[in-house]
Amino acid sequence: MDFIDTAYLYGPFVSEQIIAEALHPYPEELVIATKAGFTRTGPGEWTVVGRPAYLKQQVELSLRHLNLERIDLIQLHRIDSEVPLADQLGAFSELQEAGKVGHIGISEVSITEIKAAREIVDIVSVQNLYNLTNRQSQDVLDYCTAEGIAFIPWFPIATGDLATPDSPVADIAGELNASPSQIALAWLLQASPVVLPIPGTKSVEHLTENMGAVQLRLSPEDRARLEALA
């Protein structure tokens, strides 16, 4: 595992601090991605904020919390409809030119929005909700596959719903001597070479289980059954 996805919002910022505490000094091959563009306004309440000054402030704080001089991948957490997209991505571009950001990605976007963003900066990744039971971003995945853009599906096991013993994938998991979460992750990994799932992990055991999906191979028949069930 050489990719970790986090965000200033998570905590807020506590997730970034935990990553630094646990892993710094970071292995050379490790890629850390974080996000900016959201603020928490109350319990369970989030507001999109795309003002350039705010985005830059969040990036600066993420650099501090992660104990980094350069963020490998900064992602616009959501597009702010009240701020020109060129201004939002322009803030990241300025930080990129200053050496504080390596690459730029966007999240929860349509193909039209991706194309508009690519006219402003080089977009290397897209992070959308996508899993076996929610494939509403299939067209975005197809576009990213064709264009060679990394596709990072969030909620890859549907907030754990696909990991339970009575989930839609449980029977096939039993047949393949795998866990339901491994099946859900393997399905994603085999969906396209640009897919990079980011399952949430709360224990070493859970992490080890998730990593087992890399070795799991689903046949075309397995995939067809899974897609029919979901």
Active site residues: 10
| β-sheet bridge partners, residue 105 | 75, 125
Q: How far apart are CA 106 and CA 154, in angstroms?
A: 12
Cβ density class 69-91: b for 16+ within 10 Å, e for less = eebbbbbbbbbbeebebeebbeb
Tell me 26's DSSP state. P
What is the C-alpha to C-alpha distance for residues 63 and 156, in angstroms, rounded to an integer? 27
The helix (run of H) or strand (run of E) holding residue 104 is strand 101-107
CB 113 within 8 Å of CB 79: yes
Q: Can you tell me the distance from the alpha carbon of 78 to that of 23, in angstroms, rounded to the nearest whole number?
A: 28
| Contact assessment for residue 209 and residue 182, using Cβ atoms and an 8 Å cutoff | yes
Farthest-apart Cα atoms in the chain, separation: 53
CA–CA distance from 30 to each of 27, 78, 84, 92 (Å)?
Answer: 5, 25, 33, 21
Rounded to the nearest 10°, the torsion over CA 68, 92, 158, 163 is: -20
